[in-house]
A = this chain, B = another copy of it.
Amino acid sequence: MKENRNLKVHTLLDIENLKVHGRTTGCLSPLTVFWTGSGIELNAKGSELWIEVEVDYDMYEPWISVVINSSPVSRQMLTAGRYWICVFRGMNENEVKNVCIVRDVQAMNGDPASFMQIHAVKFDGEFLPIEEKKYKIEFIGDSITSGEGVIGAKQEDDWISMWFSAIDNYSTIVAKALNADYRVISESGWGVLTSWDNNPHFNIPQYYEKVCGILTGEKNETLGAFKANDFDSWQPDVVVVNLGTNDRGAFNSPEWIDEVTGETYKQRLNEDGTFNEEDLKTFEKAVYDFLVKLRKFNKSANIVWVNGMLGGEMLPAIYRAVDIYVKNTGEKKVSVFQLPNTNEETVGSRKHPGKLSHEKAAIELIGYLKEIL
Give the size of the chain A interface in residues (CB under 8 angstroms).
Answer: 63
CB contacts under 8 Å to B, within A39-66, are 56-61, 63
Copies of the chain in the assembly: 4
Contact status A364-B336, CB under 8 Å: no
Contact status A58-B332, CB under 8 Å: no
A287 within 8 A of partner (CB): no
Q: Which of A113, A160, A311, A319 has the most CB of B within 10 A?
A: A319
With A315-B336, A341-B368 as known contacts, state yes or no: A89 contacts B61, CB within 8 Å.
yes
- When chains A and B are docked, how far (Å) is the Cα of A326 from the Cα of B280? 14
Within 8 Å by CB of A91, from B160, B315, B322, lies B160
Point out the residues of chain B lying under 8 angstroms from A91, CB to CB.
158, 160
Contact status A338-B341, CB under 8 Å: no
Choose, from A73-81, A217-225, A231-239, A261-269, the stretch at the interface. A73-81
A156 within 8 A of partner (CB): yes
A316 within 8 A of partner (CB): yes
Choose, from A147-155, A178-186, A242-250, the stretch at the interface. A147-155
Point out the residues of chain B lying under 8 angstroms from A129, CB to CB.
none
Point out the residues of chain B lying under 8 angstroms from A59, CB to CB.
2, 90
Contact status A157-B92, CB under 8 Å: yes
Contact status B151-A73, CB under 8 Å: yes
Point out the residues of chain B lying under 8 angstroms from A156, CB to CB.
68-69, 71
- When chains A and B are docked, how far (Å) is the Cα of A155 from the Cα of B71? 10
- When chains A and B are docked, how far (Å) is the Cα of A162 from the Cα of B67? 12
Point out the residues of chain B lying under 8 angstroms from A160, CB to CB.
88-91
Contact status A340-B364, CB under 8 Å: yes
- When chains A and B are docked, how far (Å) is the Cα of A95 from the Cα of B153? 14
- When chains A and B are docked, how far (Å) is the Cα of A312 from the Cα of B349? 32
Point out the residues of chain B lying under 8 angstroms from A316, CB to CB.
319, 322-323, 326, 335-336
Contact status A274-B332, CB under 8 Å: yes
Point out the residues of chain B lying under 8 angstroms from A349, CB to CB.
71
Within 8 Å by CB of A86, from B60, B77, B155, B315, lies B77
Contact status B1-A57, CB under 8 Å: yes
A131 within 8 A of partner (CB): no
Q: Mark A104-131, 1 if CB is under 8 A from B, else 0.
A: 0000000001000000000000000000
A367 within 8 A of partner (CB): yes
Contact status A75-B77, CB under 8 Å: no
A259 within 8 A of partner (CB): no
With A75-B75, A332-B274 as known contacts, state yes or no: A58 contacts B2, CB within 8 Å.
yes
| A interface residues (Cβ-Cβ under 8 A, vs B) | 1-2, 56-61, 63, 68-71, 73-77, 79-80, 86, 88-92, 95, 113, 151-153, 155-158, 160-162, 272, 274, 308, 311-312, 315-316, 319-320, 322-323, 326, 332, 335-338, 340-341, 343, 349, 364, 367-368, 371
Of all A-B residue pairs in the complex, the 6 with the closest CB atoms, nearest first, are A1-B80, A338-B338, A69-B153, A319-B319, A76-B76, A71-B153
